[in-house]
Amino acid sequence: MPATWSVRAITRSMLPLLAVLAVVEVGSGLVLDTFEAQLLRHPSLLVLVPVTIGTAGNLGSVLAARLSTAFHLGTLSLDPRDDELAGNAVATVALAATVFPLVGAGAWVLSLATGGTTLPARTVVAVALASGLALAALAVVVTVAATYAAYRLELDPDDVVIPVVTNVCDVLGVVVLFGVVRVLV
């Protein structure tokens, strides 16, 4: 990692990555398009899509910021037995376990308020919770992998990890949400 920052260095390291991530986002849209009919049939699921992928990206971003700070402080250990790393991973999943039921309930209430509920509240909450827990676990894996890759490639994790995590969580969010919908609905 370079000792000094410059706009040119950051742009040089980030532009190729952002181009790849733009293509990844197109993949997310294509996956979302394949589930359009099901979303229109169940409007509460339609409400869940942006909130679920956004919340998963936010959880991954919080973890990424914590790992990046530890990297800069020289305390980062990517050993799975490391208590600090494990504690951050568990905290991410625990936060998901508390937030996603509220996301599901909120999606159902919003759908009810706009006259579009076709699924019971317990189903929407179960879909939100199951997809949220799966996404939190995946966000931990993606965040740790992206942080490790940034370290190995001598890139600043502050510049690289959060864009990678949020974009990958967008794609995974759509895939996981609809995988859970296929199982539970």
The answer to whether the CB of 78 falls within 8 A of the CB of 147 is: yes
Residue 108 falls within a domain, yes or no? yes
- Among candidate residues 158, 141, 166, 163, the one with its CA nearest the CA of residue 1: 158
Q: Tell me, what CATH number does 107's domain have? A: 1.10.357.20
pLDDT in tens, 87-110: 999 999 999 999 999 999 999 999
Domain count, the chain: 1
Residue 163 falls within a domain, yes or no? yes
Per-residue pLDDT at 183 = 93
Whether 70 has a pLDDT exceeding 90, the answer reads no
Residue 2 falls within a domain, yes or no? no
Residue 1 falls within a domain, yes or no? no
**Six-digit token pair at 177?**
């949400």
Report DSSP state, residue 72: H
φ, ψ for residue 81 (rounded to 5)?
A: -85, -5
**Six-digit token pair at 11?**
């742009």
Between residues 128 and 69, which one has the greater pLDDT?
A: 128
Q: Give me the domain span that covers residue 48.
A: 7-184
pLDDT in tens, 128-169: 999 999 999 999 999 999 988 888 888 888 888 888 998 888
Per-residue pLDDT at 33 = 83
Q: What is the mean pLDDT of the chain?
A: 87
32 — pLDDT class (breaks 50, 70, 90)? confident
φ, ψ for residue 153 (rounded to 5)?
A: -90, 5
Per-residue pLDDT at 127 = 96
Residues in the chain, overall count: 185
* Tokens 């990424």, located at residue: 64
Per-residue pLDDT at 4 = 67
Residue 32 falls within a domain, yes or no? yes
Report DSSP state, residue 4: S
How far apart are alpha carbons 119 and 140 in whole angstroms?
Answer: 30
- Among candidate residues 131, 77, 141, the one with its CA nearest the CA of residue 104: 131
